[in-house]
Amino acid sequence: MTDLWDDARRHLIRYGGTFTPEIIAGAEGSYVITEDGRRILDFTSGQMSSILGHAHPDVVATVQRQVATLDHLFSGMLSRPVIDLARRLAESLPDPLERALLLTTGAESNEAALRLAKLVTGGHEVVSFARSWHGMTQGAAAATYSAGRKGYGPAPSGSFAIPVPNAYRPDIVDGDGDLDWRRQLDLAFDLIDAQSVGALAACLVEPILSSGGIIDLPPGYLAALRVKCDERGMLLILDEAQTGLCRTGTWYAFERDGVVPDILTLSKTLGAGLPLAAVITSAEIEERAHERGFLFFTTHVSDPLVAAVGNTVLDVAQREHLDERATHLGGLLRKGFDELALRYPVIGDVRGRGLLQGLELVADPVTKEPSDALGAAVTRRCFELGLHMNVVQMPGMGGTFRIAPPLTIAEADLDRGLAILDQALQDVTAGRPAV
């Protein structure tokens, strides 16, 4: 094992944060398994992706069958799994979203969506949240503000950020001291209008900011944002990498607000852990882009292997009513977190929807002073006890956990995870003065 870690240190490029201190040899269901045989409950679904758990038998069977018959093609060739998945995604979405481009990653799908928006509108300016994460390719990285902006040269011109409507840490408040998100949004677009050169192309946002700290947009916010976009001739792009396909209790998070985006991007959950992403838009936008020569050739565009997996993911989600399951299990998880919050004053806030929830630890519940140290300590103790938890890997946000178990997790495993978290909080906070 020592030699392996020596090889890792010598030969791997570090790409952010630190590596988990054990080598993972396998995974099944809601658990990952170390080389020493230790079973660790996975409360992140891999990289917030494996909504069916690890090694789901239907996915395994699909991969084995498809890789033996048709795995990869020239980018201009089509296959039945690709056409079927595009049709089925359209059937799962409201009008006018009906045309899909199948890619591999969330960054790639956001890149394609931004290119579509720029080509169709003729603009180049893009608005995103100040704590967003949309990917590490050029256009997606330019719309990412939570990290990664320093040291890489200038971002493309026309990259604008607006404040996050964080109800726990409100920056603009009403007479009761609560977040006044309507005034915040109005002021944000006053500033956008002052900076814009008249070439606004798109607003790219997550319905629930994940790397931003699991910030759920207030009810009504998306509708108001839609109006701001329409007034300026911008396209509204929703990035549902982590919220799509049932995780929040509805098939798509935007359904709660009754707002249909101009372009929707999916990734992580669509492939349930395999590299599959999609861009879905209207016939009108697709046709206009095609007329203007839209180009997005990639090596793995429209690959049949992962498209077949995507169809299997939809099969399982429909058969097992994963939207309803996420609502039910999410309610149990929230109840458990709320009970922990009553016992541990370091839990400042619990938020999220369905099986995408956030837990924010604070050094002081009155001042809401954040505590990266607490988050790191609880993360380590959870892992020692057999639970993988993930904090937001950004300075000042390391006390916020992103909790996203598989949608197939058993209730007993949810209970086990809550019990481990309880023990970890007890161990880490022992000796801290009561508030």
Question: Which are the contacts of 31, defined by CB distance < 8 A and separation ≥ 6?
Answer: 39, 40, 41, 42, 54
Q: Is the pLDDT of residue 250 over 80?
A: yes
pLDDT per residue over 110-139, tens digit each? Answer: 999 999 999 999 999 999 999 999 999 999
Q: Which of 133, 240, 357, 360 is catalytic?
A: 133
Report the pLDDT averaged over residues 290-309: 97
150 carries an active-site annotation: no
pTM of the model: 0.96
Q: Is the pLDDT of residue 333 over 50?
A: yes
239 carries an active-site annotation: yes
User: What Å distances lie between residue 405 and 59, 91, 101, 135, CA to CA?
Assistant: 18, 27, 28, 22
pLDDT on residue 56: 98
Q: Which of 268, 325, 353, 381 is catalytic?
A: 268
pLDDT level of residue 17 (50, 70, 90 thresholds): confident
- SS3 of 360-393: EEEEECCCCEECHHHHHHHHHHHHHHCEECEECC
Chain CA centroid to CA 322, Å:
17
pLDDT level of residue 435 (50, 70, 90 thresholds): very low
pLDDT on residue 398: 72
133 carries an active-site annotation: yes
Lowest model confidence (mean pLDDT) among 15-29, 52-66, 116-130: 15-29
Q: Which of 66, 184, 242, 357 is catalytic?
A: 242
Task: State the sign of the Cα–Cα–Cα–Cα dihedral 214, 410, 31, 425.
Answer: positive
pLDDT per residue over 320-332, tens digit each? Answer: 999 999 999 999 9
Q: Is the peptide bond before 96 cis (omega within 30 degrees of 0)?
A: yes
pLDDT on residue 305: 98
Report the pLDDT averaged over residues 397-414: 94
Place of tokens 């050094």: 363
Report the pLDDT averaged over residues 97-109: 98
Q: Is the pLDDT of residue 396 over 80?
A: no
pLDDT level of residue 21 (50, 70, 90 thresholds): confident
pLDDT on residue 392: 81
Q: Which of 99, 118, 228, 402 is catalytic?
A: 402
Report the pLDDT averaged over residues 237-247: 98
- The residues that bridge with 358 in the sheet, in sequence order, are 351, 402
Q: Is the pLDDT of residue 379 over 60?
A: yes
pLDDT on residue 166: 97
pLDDT level of residue 16 (50, 70, 90 thresholds): confident
Q: Which of 42, 111, 125, 206 is catalytic?
A: 206
State the span(s) of the chain assigned CATH 3.40.640.10: 70-319
Report the pLDDT averaged over residues 140-145: 94
Q: Write down how long the chain is.
A: 435
On average, the pLDDT of the chain sits at 96
pLDDT on residue 58: 98
The fold of the 2-56+321-429 domain, in CATH, is: Aspartate Aminotransferase, domain 1 (3.90.1150)
Q: Is the pLDDT of residue 434 over 60?
A: no
Top CATH class of 70-319 equals: alpha beta
CA 193 to CA 332: how far, in whole Å? 44
Report the pLDDT averaged over residues 293-304: 97
Report the pLDDT averaged over residues 187-202: 98
Q: Which of 108, 239, 262, 349 is catalytic?
A: 239
State the span(s) of the chain assigned CATH 3.90.1150.10: 2-56+321-429
pLDDT on residue 279: 98
Q: Is the pLDDT of residue 8 over 50?
A: yes
Q: Is the pLDDT of residue 433 over 60?
A: no
268 carries an active-site annotation: yes
pLDDT on residue 225: 98
Place of tokens 């709660």: 256
Lowest model confidence (mean pLDDT) among 8-12, 194-198, 349-353, 427-431: 427-431
pLDDT on residue 169: 95
Q: Is the pLDDT of residue 393 over 90?
A: no
pLDDT per residue over 269-284, tens digit each? Answer: 999 999 999 999 999 9
